[in-house]
Amino acid sequence: MSFLHIHNIHKRFGETHVLKGIDIAIEKGDFLVLVGPSGCGKSTLLNMIAGLDDISEGELRLDGERINDLHPSRRDIAMVFQSYALYPSMTVAGNIGFGLEMRKVPKAERRAAVQRAAELLQIENLLDRKPGQLSGGQRQRVAMGRALVREPQLFLFDEPLSNLDAKLRVDMRTEIKQLHQRLGTTIVYVTHDQIEAMTLATRIAVMRGGELQQLGTPQAVYDDPNNLFVAGFMGSPSMNLVTARIERLGGELVARLTAGSDEVVLPVVRDRAALEAWCDREVIVGLRPEAITDPSSANRQDGVIHEAELAVDLVEPTGADLYVVTQLGGRSINARMRPGSTLEPGQRARFAFDVSRMVAFEPDSEHRIRNPETVAPSEPAVVTSIS
């Protein structure tokens, strides 16, 4: 039995069906990130785990115990809110210790626990201040201290970094990850930022429109997306998704893509068996920008490289990389090249495609076209058993 088990959870607000049967199971010590665009139901799901929203249907189990109807304070959870939700009339120490005070922990013990939490988060010097006198990052720490001090079984984070500026957000992200590694706590974390999801999670649950799209490790979600939405949502810059025609060329299965007035023919390597059925039909193929490079930086050891010459439309240096925009399959696509290459717009250049990383999707249903043996079952509970 998994540690946190979300089983076929539904949420209805009157006529609106907000969550349509979510199944997620994670183990103790996992860092689950619920990610998706706004309105996908991720915060509702978190509130239901916290007990702040009723569960319309389904079952919620924490460490084997059914907690559907337990009051939030009795679920052995702590939550960090987007607005931090600090109590403005109390000092930092009062804020951190409030939960213990309500649980009638003796004063001396309480003070020691608050001190420990404050040391862990390096806010000992702030204990006598009021929240109004703190900066955003400091408030964030206090909010985390309030959650940590009770040593709950499960931590819930509701977009905790979205009110911080970009620099601080990266620092706090690192710190949350360190904290998780050090304390080994189980965390459920909600965000709309897929980079946060990738960097923090041990398990990512991608949600859309009240439905779970995919549950898996960050790498699995990134490399092996279940559908077009997951492929497009995860990763920045996002995956290049273009229309291609699957054909048989001299006994080989290939994907034929238009490239301006030209054509590019890429051999099909991945999911070949499944794509046989799509011969002479159009599919959508996806290639991450880092799977399209200049020939010299192509990974010929692990990948299967196929080169083609294309026109350079635009060159975008980011310092670490050089993104080159070209036309493929009727759309502008991004290729990640070695920085410092001397490409100019209008010029023609050789592009190296790592076709072993190419994924294909059904154009209508937007589902992944995948070989049967590697199909991730639609029941996510089984996915977790892979670990």
Partner 1 sequence: MSKPPSSRGAGARERLQHWLPKLVLSPSFVLVLFFVYGFILWTSYISFSDSGMLPDYTWAGTRQWSRLWSSWTWGIALHNIWVFGLLYIVSCTLLGLLLAILLDQRIRAEGTLRTIYLYPMALSFIVTGTAWQWFLNPGLGLERTMHSLGWESFSFNWLIDANMAIYTVVIAAVWQATGFIMAMFLAGLRGIDGEMIKAAQIDGAPTWKIYLRIVIPQLRPVFLSAIVVLAHLAIKSFDLIVAMTGGGPGNATAVPATFMYSYAFSRNEMGIAAASAVFMLAVIAALIIPYLYSELREPRS
- Structure-token pair, residue 330: 């009727």
Task: Mark 141-160 with x for binding to partner 1 (rule: CB under 8 A) and - for no binding.
Answer: -----x--------------
DSSP state of 367: B
Task: Mark 195-234 with x for binding to partner 1 (rule: CB under 8 A) and - for no binding.
Answer: ----------------------------------------
Give 88 or 319: the residue with its C-beta nearer to partner 1: 88
Amino acid symbol at 123 = I
- Report 330-369 residues binding partner 1 (CB under 8 A): none
Amino acid symbol at 84 = Y
Residues 95/78, Cβ–Cβ less than 8 Å: no
- Report 14-73 residues binding partner 1 (CB under 8 A): 47, 50-52, 71-73
# binding residues, partner 1 (CB under 8 A): 26
Q: How far is the CB of 73 from partner 1 (least distance, A)?
A: 3
Give 36 or 97: the residue with its C-beta nearer to partner 1: 97
Give 83 or 135: the residue with its C-beta nearer to partner 1: 83
Q: How far is the CB of 84 from partner 1 (least distance, A)?
A: 8
Distances (CA, A) of 99 to 76, 132, 342: 11, 20, 60
Find all residues with CB under 8 Å of 262, minimum gap 6, and list them: 310
Cα distance between residue 78 and residue 251, in whole Å: 59
- Report 95-124 residues binding partner 1 (CB under 8 A): 98-99, 102-103
> 21, 39, 70, 82: which one contacts partner 1 (CB under 8 A)?
82
Exposure string for 339-378, b = 16+ CB within 10 A, e = fewer: eeeebeeeeebebbbbbebbbbbbeeebebbbeeeeebee
> 68, 83, 296, 387: which one contacts partner 1 (CB under 8 A)?
83
Residues 333/284, Cβ–Cβ less than 8 Å: no
Q: Which residues bind partner 1 (CB under 8 A)?
A: 47, 50-52, 71-74, 77-79, 81-83, 85-90, 98-99, 102-103, 132, 146
